[in-house]
A and B are shown apart, each in its own frame.
Chain A
């Protein structure tokens, strides 16, 4: 219960101010496509040089928490996820916005983020030692199967046709192999100099989601605002959202559990947490067909998952120096620069700083929700922006966001080309989500397979197929595939019956 005594540290005027500004800034940065949580935290590190250790960590922690949630804002309102972690959020978040329920969707997003986030941080506070042990058990073979599990979900994210989902996912997996082999360093599929560094996930994310959006905004530029974009925004009381949100126990629990578990696994990251939680919630729902058409449960599951991940991703970081997510990796730099070395010392010798930091994460979740709900109120202005101005603003953000990731004009070219291709692909029924996820999972699968293969040597089969975690995840993969086939058959039978009737 040591953490309780340090709450007063969080509420000193200076720390409180840093926490509030960090949270608001993080929400805005997160809502900007291209400024992913990782980027935002990396950009802020130099500003912490002159700060007290506790204050600098409070700022980095606040930004980490709130950028993850902020990424949902642009996703829900304009169908452009702020970061890979928010892809699952837009599946139902944006359809809700189209029905004029944007404010409601944003309410669920921030309330669920709070629930997931707080539980995630509580896990960090109470279960760090056993969770750290668990984190170390995930080697290349385990991570390989987890990414395969992600692959089994891709196809069903297409919204409509499984076949188109599979094709898009396959193309995504292939795109991930462009550039250097992540382990052996050989170059593959580099047809143009622009592809020499491979396709960056953020460039693809922005291109595939933002550019088709811009093109369709332009094509409907003459029509009055609101038409073809978002229906007139309906206001929604926060209290009503609260009471509805809290009663969606199944979606909340699924999201939080999945997010926490995946957060602990070093290297899996938030993008998969949201995706898996979304998929599980849909599979367990009484009416899976409602998903993708504006089902609040989809938003609740995805957002509780990607914020639940934040706390547990710090477990291996704080105890072992192993970051659970790319953002946590940058946060490690923030710790080291303050002379805080991960390990047991962090909770004893440097306990004051560490516990203040962890407490600020808890308080930060509450601030994030409050400010998030305030932003939701003003989101009505976004819907009033005329289409041509919106298109211009999005294209500017897309180009700057992409360029800023690696200061590379090649990324911008890749982003634009992918985006234009996606615009036409979308017209024949393909969707962007399976493509981006293929790209993300492809890198994860390949790296871990190759490393596992090198470690295993002659014993490839036994290395990948034995061990309790491997077998559990393999079983999950089989269940996931089996369920998809069963469900698809059921749908076909149902359609036939309807056709006969």
Chain B
């Protein structure tokens, strides 16, 4: 076993040197054991489900037995759910080792919003985490029941203006993408709604389907799957979705709502992880996300992909941090 893995490392080393003199030998050494990936949500939820797909090719080897992505090492998923992700992420920054073998899945805007709203309780923020790569992006959409009287975003806004505080809107939880979308929606339309955190995206959808709430913000991918039982009125993104070309963006409906609520999912490490490891991950992880099998499974599961490199995610985090600090400043809990 030991000899075999040493041999494999040797082959890789030779290959790396042969292919490119610039590649450092360290590249071939990390990782030499499995990497754990903390998922701060329960098994079977959307984040867990997608994380399992995008990491499934981690240990892939080509036909000659050479490792393709991460030296043939698998990524092992650890679910640590609780309090909208707070339990898992808190644990990750407090207990995780900065050796490049402990990674976590992130959800933006969730973790950034939580770090802004609960500064004492939440131990993580963009300052102690390092993005690796992004795999997916799921915009929030405004939905109503098929039998609803609302036929456009304007109908919803008109009702909310005439009946302040009466419009009930469901979403997955507090300070997640759906909640941010609703906060932006309220601000842009100058209305006051009643946001009901349902405890999960599917539950939020159920409230709209069952008529428990008048409207809801939910994941585009989930709404798309249920589109025959819903009216999808608007997309909280900068451009229309390929899945729903007929649904206008909220901006097109005259509301100043941007893409800040789009639910980005990806992989992150702790700040202080060795540069060598970060470099390997930043190079290999996006390639792993783009593996043909991964793309096929994600598509089959109706999960919209958006692969972003480490630099792109760094920029996205920074932008979200600035915007959300402004949006949530009145909600800050000391």
Contact = CB atoms under 8 A, between A and B. Distances in A.
Contact of A323 (B78, B83, B198, B202): B202
B205 A337 contact: no
Interface stretch (A62-70, A100-108, A451-459): A451-459
Interface string A111-146: 000000000000000000000000011111000000
Given A197-B82, A330-B43, A339-B301, A139 B196 contact: no
Contacts of B206: 136, 266, 320, 322
B212 A140 contact: yes
Interface in B300-332: 300-303
A455 B194 contact: yes
A185 B43 contact: no
A39 interface: yes
B121 interface: yes
B245 interface: no
A401 interface: no
Contacts of B52: 45-46
B40 to A, nearest CB: 11
Contacts of A266: 206
Interface stretch (A160-168, A175-183, A209-217, A389-397): A175-183
A331 B43 CA distance: 10
Contacts of B175: 185
B43 A42 contact: yes
Contacts of B196: 451, 454-455
A223 interface: no
A457 B83 contact: no
Contact of B301 (A38, A337, A455): A337
A139 B203 CA distance: 10
Interface residues of B, number: 52
A501 interface: no
Interface in B172-215: 173-175, 194-199, 202-203, 205-207, 209-213
Given A179-B83, A337-B297, A343-B225, A454 B43 contact: no
Contact of A185 (B56, B174, B207): B174
Given A185-B83, A185-B174, A333-B45, 7 more contacts: A136-B209, A139-B207, A182-B199, A332-B44, A336-B49, A343-B228, A454-B196
A455 B302 CA distance: 30
A138 B203 CA distance: 12
Interface in A347-400: none
Contacts of A184: 174, 197
A168 to B, nearest CB: 25
Nearest to B333: A186
B165 interface: yes
A130 B86 CA distance: 39
B81 interface: yes
B222 interface: yes
Interface residues on A, range: 35 or more
B79 interface: yes
A344 B56 contact: no
A203 B79 CA distance: 15
Given A185-B174, A321-B226, A454-B194, A180 B44 contact: no
A321 B228 CA distance: 12
Given A136-B206, A182-B199, A337-B300, A408 B80 contact: yes
Nearest to A140: B212
Contact of A336 (B84, B166, B174, B302): B302
Interface string A309-343: 00000000000111100000111110011110111
A330 B44 contact: yes
A180 B203 CA distance: 19
Nearest to B228: A343
B168 interface: yes
Interface in A246-271: 266-267
A460 to B, nearest CB: 13
19 contacts: A38-B44, A179-B82, A185-B83, A197-B87, A198-B82, A321-B202, A322-B202, A329-B45, A333-B44, A336-B49, A336-B300, A336-B301, A336-B302, A341-B225, A341-B302, A407-B80, A454-B168, A455-B194, A455-B213
Nearest to B168: A455
Interface in B47-70: 48-49, 52-53, 56
Contacts of A341: 225, 302
Interface in B249-269: none
B229 interface: yes
B164 to A, nearest CB: 11
A208 B228 CA distance: 46
Nearest to A340: B300
Nearest to A183: B197
A219 interface: no
Contacts of B78: 407
Given A49-B56, A330-B43, A407-B78, A322 B174 contact: no
Contacts of B222: 321
A45 B44 contact: yes
Interface in B107-130: 118, 121
A79 B88 CA distance: 33
Contacts of A329: 44-45, 202
A447 B300 contact: no
A196 interface: yes
Nearest to A180: B83
A457 B194 contact: yes
B187 to A, nearest CB: 20
Contacts of A338: 300
Given A266-B206, A337-B53, A185 B84 contact: yes
B228 A196 contact: no
A46 B205 contact: no
A292 B118 CA distance: 48
A194 to B, nearest CB: 12
